[in-house]
Amino acid sequence: MDNISVLTFFTLSGLNYTVHHRLILFALTLLCYSVIWIVNAVLIITIIVDRKLHEPMYIFLCNLCINGLYATAGFYPKFLLDLLSTSHVISYAGCLLQSFVIHSASGCDLSILAVMAYDRYVAICQPLMYYSLMTTQRVSLLVAFSWLLPLFCMFNNTMTIFQTRLCGSHIPKLYCSNALIGKLVCSTSVANISIAYLNIAIYVIHFLFLLWSYMYLVKTCLKSKENRKKFMQTCVPHLVSLVNFGFAVLFDLMYTRFGLGMSSQSFQNFMAIEFLLIPPILNPLVYGLKLTKIQKRIFGFIRQQKCHNSY
């Protein structure tokens, strides 16, 4: 292709081998997407409706669930359409938009988890200062930070790709990815490389902060039985989400870097979508089952509905 104006669509090849199993995959995918919406929506509505849950920890959790819906909205509708189609194509603009949504959601996930780690650090290590530090204004700023920073980072990354010439249109994946689009660039620009490494540096700092905060939390909790109880109740779900997110990102990086020549296509596809499949389901379930206030509110509502229906 001589210039970018000729390129109007990309082809996605991840589904080429599943011709005979499309209907089964479509049913399973639709079921999975429905479950994701139900479990996340239940938690979001529960937190919004119950004023007792309008505390920093639950507000951050609500944003984590909203981000789960945002991320999956960038993948599942298009994937479901592809399962019913014989040609797996996506427009140039649609591909950039899908990549922006999916990867900005990954960044939001890490930012929200970092903010939640800060909240738990203040709650356990500086409990007397908690409500003076975690004011409504500060919580609002932390929520804005966890959304705006990833969106800004991915917008810059996407714009550098948008302004480059591409010499191919084949993406060997189930969805669009800036890393794979970047491999189609005729000549890599300094701006593209610089912004990519800047984004990596920002999220390495996030990761180091998470490590530091939990090392300090564990050290503090070992000194007090009360803090150990608080850690088990509120920090364990966060750790589960963090480990889950870490493995999901690792799977995706393995796919992007090494997936083209390793293992079966089924395993490659699983690595590509793991972070869009397990975390959006696991996060609300783990928090809903572990956090007592949310558990009581949900089960209380179910009991009220049963009593109402019985009359």
Mean predicted lDDT score pLDDT of the chain:
82
| Residue 218 to residue 114: CA distance in whole angstroms | 16
SS (H, E, C) the chain: CCCHHHCCEEEECCCCCCHHHHHHHHHHHHHHHHHHHHHHHHHHHHHHHCHHHCCHHHHHHHHHHHHHHHHHHCCHHHHHHHHCCCCCEEEHHHHHHHHHHHHHHHHHHHHHHHHHHHHHHHHHHCHHHHHHHCCHHHHHHHHHHHHHHHHHHHHHHHHHHHCCCECCCEECCCCCCHHHHHCCECCCCHHHHHHHHHHHHHHHHHHHHHHHHHHHHHHHHCCCHHHHHHHHHHHHHHHHHHHHHHHHHHHHHHHHHHHHHCCCHHHHHHHHHHHHHHHHHHHHHHHHHHCHHHHHHHHHHHHHHHHHHHC
Q: State the pLDDT confidence band at 124, using cuts at 50, 70 and 90.
A: confident
Q: Which residue has the higher pLDDT, 188 or 35?
A: 35
Whether 254 shows a pLDDT value over 70: the answer reads: no
pLDDT at site 39? 92
The answer for residues whose C-beta is within 8 angstroms of residue 293's C-beta and 6 or more apart is 52, 53, 58
pLDDT at site 19? 58
213 CA to centre of own chain: 21
For residues 273-297, b (16+ Cβ closer than 10 Å) or e, as one string? Answer: bbbbbebbbbbbebbbebbeebeeb
Range ranked top by mean pLDDT from 128-132, 165-169, 219-223: 128-132
pLDDT at site 56? 92
Q: What are phi and psi of 187, to 5 degrees?
A: -145, 125
Q: State the pLDDT confidence band at 212, using cuts at 50, 70 and 90.
A: confident
Whether 225 shows a pLDDT value over 70: the answer reads: yes
User: Rounded to a whole number, what is the largest CA-CA distance in the chain?
Assistant: 72
pLDDT > 70: percent of the chain: 84
Whether 207 shows a pLDDT value over 80: the answer reads: yes
Length of the chain: 311
Please give the structure tokens belonging to residue 196. 């990519």
What is the identity of the amino acid at 271?
A: M
Q: Which CATH number fits domain 4-310: 1.20.1070.10, 3.40.30.10, 3.40.190.10, 1.10.357.10?
A: 1.20.1070.10
Query: Which residue matches tokens 């010499």?
Result: 167
pTM, whole model, 2 decimals? 0.87
17-29 pLDDT tens trace? 555 678 888 899 9
**Domain residues of the chain, as ranges?**
4-310
